[in-house]
Structure 1
Amino acid sequence: MSNDQKLPIVSVKWQKSLYENIEIDTSNPPAVFKMQLFSLTGVPPERQKIMGFKGGLLKDDADWDAVGIKDGMKVTMMGTADKVPEAPTAAQTFVEDLPEEEQDVTGMSKYGAGLENLGNTCYMNSTVQCLYAVPELRESLASVTASPNEPGAALASAARNLFVRMEKAGQAVPPTQFLVCLRRMFPQFDQTNREGAHMQQDAEECWGALLTALKAQTPEIQKLFGVSTRAVLKCEELEGENVESMTINEVELMLKCNITSDVNHLGEGLALGFRGDREKTSETLGRSANFRGVAQIQALPPYLTVQMVRFFYKADVQQKAKILRKVTFPMLLDLFDFCTDDLKTELKAPRLAFKEAEDAKVGLSQKRQKLDSAANITTTTTIPASTKNSEADGDIEMVDNIAQYAGALTGRYELIGVLTHKGRSADSGHYVSWVKQNDGQWVQFDDDTMILRKEEEVLALSGGGDWHMAYLLLFKAQRCPMDIAETVAAAAVAAEKKEEAPAAAGGS
């Protein structure tokens, strides 16, 4: 279709609703039109019966000219929308009485559902499974309004609907509508080989493209994943009094762990990734020059994504070759040393508060003054604790003070997802996701197959051979517990009773 040719606009009647001004791109098959209706009505394409075109019911692969598509025409759709999950009733329901797609024959439905491979789509499936582990992301998509003529909104709507089906289903879900929307928004994922089969794609490109598209639909994406960095760069050609520097502030949805022969651990690769040379215009020299510097984190997100930069373009074979080097990663990542001085100061008190809460749980609660002095915090208690009653007041102030850190970030991140690759090229091989569940259990999602895994099996995904190795890491921010004040107070009371017990025994 030429760029100046007007796309036909139709109206669709479904039940008591009339959806007007739906633009149809006739360069795409009717399956895409059905996906548009799915995003508007919630009726899956396989249940849609669309009448009003020539030849009877509209088929997924029908020719638009043959069915007589016209601008301004009105058609009718029949079909039942997906229902919102309802609270269970008292009546007992047997598995065999449920629809086949809702039967949990493996007992794994509490961990979500697998995704069917629709032809070299493991890169997409593994990406979706990792992002499904972020409940705030799923919640943010609930408010997205579907638009039949906006690919980004259609993709966000399809993601929302897919997440709902994954939560509800007892068996693997075919992500058909989501795949159609993804390829419509990003045609590079629609590439086919000489035989007409869809080609394997890079999971990192899919992850980045998806988050970028969703970010345009809801501001929550940047709030959830955005890492704010500040880099101070200095011109290499100028020194002494003539030194020229510039500050660059950026927000990245993904950090990079660069891999060289000297990198053995995630922290070393991250440090390398924060260094960078950039070519900028020097005002002093009046021309482009190389600026060098190191970026630091100035604001931390609730979730952190790290790419293990394992692939590079190899010109002689014209494909992305893989770096097999073993690079270990932790279950708990500490980013404190990568932060600006201001952020470090901001994190010190919550870090000590978290430690005090953890110590309190095992009866090792420490003096509150240690936290105050480390954070350079002035308490509101100015009267010396010279009596037993004043000491009690001081204890109350201690609890009130620590309560302000409830929910505060500590700068540490817990690993909750790993997207791995097995093979020698990013555009071939196989992608799999490993996701930590709310109960601490790790589950491997290999397309439609779900496998329980142990923590040591996840840590073994560090590379060094032809086995699955980590390509993308998803971390969740460690926070001070919301009940931190109650935890510390309870420990203090328990400690006081323990001290009073011997005294009472001695006076009897």
Structure 2
Amino acid sequence: MNIYRRLMFEPLDITENKRESNMPLGLKNIGNTCFINSLLQCYFMIPPLVKEVMAAFFGTGNEEVHPATKFVKALQTLFAKMIKSTRKYADPSEVIDSLVDSFGNQVEFGEQQDIGEFHMIIVDNIEKGLNLCKQDKGMKLWVSLKEQGKIESLFTGIHEEVLQYKKAGEYSQTSNDVKFGPIILDIDKGNLMAAWENAYKSTIKDYRIKDTKVKAKQEIWIKILPSVLIFQLKRHSYIQGEPVPLKNNSVFKFPDFIFPDRFMQKNKDQIKLLQKKIRKIKSEIKMIKKENAGLLYSPDGKTSILESIQVLNNFLISDIGNEATTKANRLSKNLEGMYYEIENKIEANENRLKRLNRKLEKIYRQFTDQKYCLSSILVHEGVAISGHYFAYIKDYDRPEPYQWRKYNDIFVTNVQEEEVKKVSEGLNNASAYCLIYVSEDLIKAKTELPLHLFEPNSGREFADEYSTYMKEEIIASVKNMNNQDNENRESEVYEEQVDKIVDDLNQIFIEDIETYQVLKTDSQNYYHLELAEFAIFVLSKNNYSQIVRYFRIESYIRQYYKLEITDPAMKKLRDYLQKRNTEFNPLPTSLKSDEYTFYIRLKNQYIEEITDLIYANIILEQARSFNFKKSLQIYILCVLQINRAMNTIKNELYEVFKYILIYLIRNLQSECKNKSITRVVEYCELINLLYNQYCDKEFGRGVLSLVTQIHRKFYLDFKKDKDQFESAFNLAISLEINDMTLIKFHPDVEAYQYNLLSFEFFDKNHYEHVAKYKNLFTETLTNLNQGLQVVANIENAKQYDLKYYPNFF
């Protein structure tokens, strides 16, 4: 087993390891395996290879113990996961473990790999494994490579190698048909087609014929093309005296599609007839490029001639050069003329190159029968002896424009073509070292189904062509794996959620208790501190911490999940919370019937009291401004008319209106003297309303007696002017009771009217209302306490007749 197998950690946890819809799967790097990961991703985008592997049938014979069979079976399992797994990436360990070389030895990983050799090892394993497997007779293959007898026909072609040499004054020629796989190209030609032509024509200086060495010329002509053309770019080279190889990141351009026809043996005669014309054009192109190079750079290729001219000219026209102005100006003009002359010459040469290249294209245009499309680019990032591999792969299974993706171990991302070309062509630290082109026939859709589609939990989950080649047992295995993964993800999510809920709630519980204790010890600074928050209200009722905990859970679930804790959708979360029940003393997810009834009763009580407190703030604000009529109207409509028992808020408001009654009695004198009939009637009616509220209370017999006398006296006095009195009286009464819009008198009241039954109401912080009530209550009593002495004098003197108060009016 390889050393990489020690690296067993998972780079992503189960919740992060979730595949996006319609995105390919990544592959886990298990220790210097980015090279094979990139190659496996390229293989997965070659339809007939995937279908052949997925259609393989494994019996119970000796074939199962053969390493190649193990490799194909492992590859079949990996492809199945790449087709339908819900994970973000798959583990290629079994594939890598079962890969052996031609001698049966396990392939070792860890160093920089030769793509050609490594690729042929994989192809050899697949071919041997498939030959040992029984083909599923019920499976109709898209391309029956088994009938051809070789999986290698996908990747291996046949070319003719022609050697011409002169021996003993006579010219001789030999030819051999040779299988070929990856085509090795030098990158110094700058582009794919020029490098290919250079590779297929070469000179062998020491070609050995028996005991004699001669100079031979070699030509290569393709007889049979493979479906997949692989070009290996020679970017590593050794320099004499250097201990390690060097990497060449020079720019190397390649097109989106190519036509190999010009290299075909069947077109050999036609190509040779055109060779003279082609050579002439290429020779001219070479000359122009050489001329441009001489115009652009110094002989050593390190110094730009145009930049040097520019620098010298800048010096001549600078302040430093002003000592010899006449000579400098003349030389500067000559340099400028030279600069533009070189520029124009280079531009003219570039135009000539374009015309010559168009001529070449026109010559080759008749050789375009077999089209190959760029499918994959394997990229190396780093230096010659170390670095990282990833792949760019074009997805031809989607409508045009075809999507490029970057396959970087576990991460697969969509990328733009501009990025692909910029990175792959070279010049920087990363550059392409392998190009894979596939026959256009290979990527054309053969059915209406997409090749590979990933739409989990949908009716189209297995509605793609790759899935039709999956065995039932493999489908069942993948489904089981996905179901288990989903359960694990769900468990992980719930555990994380519960951990967060527990941590949050524990902190909230601590804060609840601390807040209650602080407010309790500082009660003199608050009126009704228990109304500051529902949790504090419950704690104030003999410290029902169990109910507070339930409330906090219920509130938390509503806030973050927008659901009731009793909702069926929250069952699993409730179960996970219940498992943690013993950890924090305790955390109930449900209450007993009697506890829940009490809980609801406390909620209703809290609604009543906090609502009355908010109404009280509005009433007190009006009373503080001596707007007694409005305060009394709100009191009657919004507080007294609600059918529920008296609470402390009502009792305190009752006390406030005692002061208001005294204030009205005391100030009635000035209104009478001013003969302000409307105000007098209004005061009388307000006094009457208040009197009716206190008639059965121990408010002070003396004051009540006086109020009764005052009411009777004013009724009799104003009866003399009956019409005026009735008009004022009706106006006052109509504004007192019938104005039902008073329920919306204050925006805060209106808002509370609508949310009293919503759960968020209990989660509100009502400290502001509590603090406001305390301030308003004390301030209002301070403003009204001027009447206290009047009441005290009346009660102490026990003089309950108006005749004792001649100055009152």
More strand by share: 1
Q: Equivalent of 1:233, from 143, 163, 167?
A: 163
What is the CA-CA distance between 1:265 and the residue it aligns to?
0.8
Q: Equivalent of 1:114, from 23, 26, 39?
A: 26
Aligned positions, number: 315
> Do the aligned partners of residues 295 and 203 (structure 1) sit closer, same or farther apart at CA in structure 2, a change above 3 Å counting?
closer
- Equivalent position amino acid for 2:421 in 1: L
- Equivalent position amino acid for 1:161 in 2: T
- Equivalent position amino acid for 1:282 in 2: I
Partner of 2:646: none
Partner of 1:182: 99
> What SS is found at the alignment partner of 1:411?
coil
- Equivalent position amino acid for 2:375 in 1: I
Query: Is residue 212 of structure 1 aligned with residue 129 of structure 2?
Result: no
Q: Is contact 2:70–2:129 with CA below 8 Å preserved after alignment?
A: no
Partner of 2:56: 143
Q: Equivalent of 2:224, from 299, 310, 318?
A: 299
> What SS is found at the alignment partner of 2:389?
strand
Query: Is residue 272 of structure 1 aligned with residue 198 of structure 2?
Result: yes
Partner of 1:497: none
Q: Distance in 2 between matches of 1:480 and 1:135?
A: 7
Q: Deviations over 1:262-297 (max 9, x none)?
A: x111111111111244565537xx635443211011
Normalising by structure 2, report the TM-score. 0.35
RMSD of Structure 2 on Structure 1 (CA): 3.6
- Equivalent position amino acid for 2:209 in 1: S
Q: Distance in 2 between matches of 1:160 and 1:480?
A: 20
What is the CA-CA distance between 1:150 and the residue it aligns to?
2.4
Q: Is contact 1:232–1:294 with CA below 8 Å preserved after alignment?
A: yes
- Equivalent position amino acid for 1:182 in 2: L
Query: Is residue 452 of structure 1 aligned with residue 380 of structure 2?
Result: no
Q: Distance in 2 between matches of 1:189 and 1:466?
A: 31
- For 1:359-508, what aligned pairs fall within 5 Å after superposition? 410-425=369-384, 427-437=385-395, 438-439=397-398, 440-479=402-441
What is the CA-CA distance between 1:217 and the residue it aligns to?
3.9
Q: Distance in 2 between matches of 1:126 and 1:481?
A: 20
Q: Distance in 2 between matches of 1:316 and 1:168?
A: 52
Q: Distance in 2 between matches of 1:341 and 1:297?
A: 8
Highest RCO, 1 vs 2 (Cα 8 Å, sep ≥ 6):
1
> What SS is found at the alignment partner of 2:73?
helix
What is the CA-CA distance between 1:320 and the residue it aligns to?
3.7
- Equivalent position amino acid for 1:152 in 2: A
Q: Equivalent of 1:161, from 77, 100, 109?
A: 77
Q: Deviations over 1:206-239 (max 9, x none)?
A: 3232123324445443221222211211124455
Query: Is residue 133 of structure 1 aligned with residue 45 of structure 2?
Result: yes
Q: Distance in 1 between matches of 2:412 and 2:436?
A: 19
Q: Distance in 2 between matches of 1:313 and 1:415?
A: 30
Q: Deviations over 1:323-345 (max 9, x none)?
A: 21111000011222222244898
Q: Deviations over 1:346-387 (max 9, x none)?
A: xxxxxxxxxxxxxxxxxxxxxxxxxxxx99xxxxxxxxxxxx
Q: Is contact 1:112–1:169 with CA below 8 Å preserved after alignment?
A: no
Q: Is contact 1:201–1:428 with CA below 8 Å preserved after alignment?
A: no
> Do the aligned partners of residues 232 and 468 (structure 1) sit closer, same or farther apart at CA in structure 2, a change above 3 Å counting?
same
- Equivalent position amino acid for 1:234 in 2: Q
Q: Is contact 2:26–2:410 with CA below 8 Å preserved after alignment?
A: yes
Partner of 2:209: 282
Moved more, 242-251 or 179-188: 179-188
> Do the aligned partners of residues 124 and 317 (structure 1) sit closer, same or farther apart at CA in structure 2, a change above 3 Å counting?
farther
Q: Distance in 1 between matches of 2:444 and 2:430?
A: 37
Moved more, 428-437 or 317-326: 317-326
Q: Is contact 2:115–2:232 with CA below 8 Å preserved after alignment?
A: no
> Do the aligned partners of residues 417 and 481 (structure 1) sit closer, same or farther apart at CA in structure 2, a change above 3 Å counting?
closer
Q: Is contact 2:42–2:376 with CA below 8 Å preserved after alignment?
A: yes
> Do the aligned partners of residues 188 and 482 (structure 1) sit closer, same or farther apart at CA in structure 2, a change above 3 Å counting?
closer
> What SS is found at the alignment partner of 1:465?
coil
> Do the aligned partners of residues 481 and 302 (structure 1) sit closer, same or farther apart at CA in structure 2, a change above 3 Å counting?
closer
Q: Which consecutive unaligned segments of at least 5 residues does structure 2 have?
A: 131-148, 271-364, 446-809
Q: Distance in 2 between matches of 1:455 and 1:145?
A: 41
- For 1:240-279, what aligned pairs fall within 5 Å after superposition? 242-260=170-188, 263-277=189-203
Q: Is contact 2:372–2:437 with CA below 8 Å preserved after alignment?
A: yes
> Do the aligned partners of residues 422 and 160 (structure 1) sit closer, same or farther apart at CA in structure 2, a change above 3 Å counting?
same
- Equivalent position amino acid for 2:194 in 1: E
Q: Distance in 2 between matches of 1:180 and 1:298?
A: 37
More helix by share: 2
> What SS is found at the alignment partner of 2:69?
helix
Query: Is residue 152 of structure 1 aligned with residue 68 of structure 2?
Result: yes
